[in-house]
Chains A and B, each alone.
Chain A
Amino acid sequence: MITSTLETVPGRMIREHLGIVQGSTVRAKHIGRDLMAGLKNIVGGELKGYTELLSEARDEAYERMLQQAEAKGANAVINVRFSTSSVTQGASEILAYGSAVIVE
């Protein structure tokens, strides 16, 4: 599956548009990470726990988007965008969406 944040896949012609595909996941941190984050807020620096958490969540959202694209029969997803929003304090939703297309 080819993915691109561009309008096109360079060098390939878009034969068919299949519509929007989206993948999302909602993840929460646990109390342990909160504690470490609290300490880091005093010391400063990268909150590795949260970085990992959001990283994993983004991977999962991305995978789900690709799953939808496959289900549609596409072989590429263009104009991929990521969006993060906080659903509630302590939980974030990661959304990955794009346009499923068939390129030759």
Chain B
Amino acid sequence: MKIRHVKVPEGINVSRHRPLADLFVLTAGAVALFAFVGMVALLIGSYAGRYIPVSWENAMAAAIFETGGTAEPQPADVTGLRAEAALQALADKLAANMELPEGLRITVHYLDDPEINAFATLGGHVIVLRGLIHRMPDENALAMVLGHEIAHAANRDVMANLGGTLLLQLALATLTGMSPETAEGLVWGPNALLLRRFGRDAERRADRDGLAAVAATYGHVSGADAFFRTLLEEMGKTVPEEGPEFLSTHPLTAGRIEDLAALATAQGWATGGDPTPLPEALRNLGGGP
């Protein structure tokens, strides 16, 4: 029996392939797949969120806010209580000119904090911070901010955000559970951008609805954009600089000012008019810590 050594040619068990082309195609494919799944999840979740009955939303808010009152900002002193009452009166004035869903009540809370901010949460609760009130030159400016937040509640944006992010997280967690680890960055990255985009659209709608409420309440929109102008002034000082819009949860501030002006023109709202001074209880609250 003879034994002979014969060399085997290369390339049978190792096929030639182009790693860079492969990388490009696979990454593009993966990003597209995950973005598609994420988009569908976000759409369905947001849509469903808006259709959850107001009573359920109120129940959820009650569970968070009224248990022992730790989450609900309670003004500590008389000044705070008066400020809160004044804010509530202003909100009620505006809400009368806005379309609120059946069963939704707007409850305003005053928070003694120097930050220039205000936000809307579940169940029609709106929280306004002292820092913001301090920077408002007149009632019209404050009304725009309040109107914007009330619009968020009226448009059920909070519920939409909740439903959307929940379903998105569910879908993406399933995907990442099934696919190997690297893909996690690819799964979440583009979808984080999608989520921001959804948020920006909601912000634009709230801006429009807020301005409409101001126009209906005061008969003009003069001074309504004071809040955004303040933001621009404070950028780089007490307020962080804005990054590029596609990374941001809100549209760029300069853009928002322009959009408001354009809307006023399109709707024929008066841009000149006497500003209404702030209610007594909201003046001189101080902007310091």
- Whether A42 is near chain B, meaning CB under 8 Å from some CB there, is no
Judge whether B25 is part of the interface by a CB distance below 8 angstroms: no
Q: Are B1 and A15 in contact (CB under 8 A)?
A: yes
Q: Do A35 and B8 touch (CB < 8 A)?
A: no
- Decide: A18 and B4 in contact? CB cutoff 8 A: yes
Contacting residues, chain B, for A21 (C-beta < 8 A) = 8
Q: In the complex, which residues 61-104 of chain A have their Cβ closer than 8 Å to any Cβ of chain B?
A: 64, 67-68, 71-73, 88-90, 100
Q: Is B180 engaged at the interface, CB distance under 8 Å to the other chain?
A: yes
Query: A90: which of B4, B175, B180 is its contact (CB, 8 Å)?
Result: B180
**B6 interface contact, C-beta 8 A:** yes
Task: Describe B's contact surface by its main secondary structure.
Answer: loop
Contact among B8, B9, B178 with A34 in the assembled complex (CB-CB below 8 Å): B178
Closest beta carbon of chain B to A90's beta carbon, Å: 6
Chain A interface residue count, Cβ-Cβ cutoff 8 angstroms: 25
Interface residues in A19-68 by Cβ distance below 8 A to B read 19, 21-25, 31, 34-35, 38, 64, 67-68
Q: Are B5 and A23 in contact (CB under 8 A)?
A: no
- Residues from chain B with a CB closer than 8 A to the CB of A38 are 178
Interface residues in B176-213 (C-beta closer than 8 Å to A): 178-180
CA distance A89 to B179 in the complex (A): 10
Contact across chains for B12 and A16 when beta carbons are under 8 A apart: no
B179-A23 in contact (CB<8A): no
Complex Cα gap A35–B175 (Å): 10
The answer to whether the Cβ of B3 comes within 8 Å of any Cβ in the partner chain is: yes
Cβ-closest chain A residue relative to B9: A71
What A residues does B1 contact at CB under 8 A?
14-17
**What B residues does A18 contact at CB under 8 A?**
4-6
Flag if B8 contacts A71 (CB, 8 Å): yes
Q: Is B2 an interface residue when CB atoms closer than 8 A count as contact?
A: yes
Do B3 and A72 have beta carbons less than 8 Å apart?
Answer: no
**Residues of chain A contacted by B6 (CB below 8 angstroms):** 18-19, 72-73, 100
In B1-48, the 8 Å CB interface with A consists of: 1-6, 8-9, 12-13
A41 CB, nearest partner CB in chain B, Å: 13
Report which A residues bind B (CB closer than 8 A). Answer: 14-19, 21-25, 31, 34-35, 38, 64, 67-68, 71-73, 88-90, 100
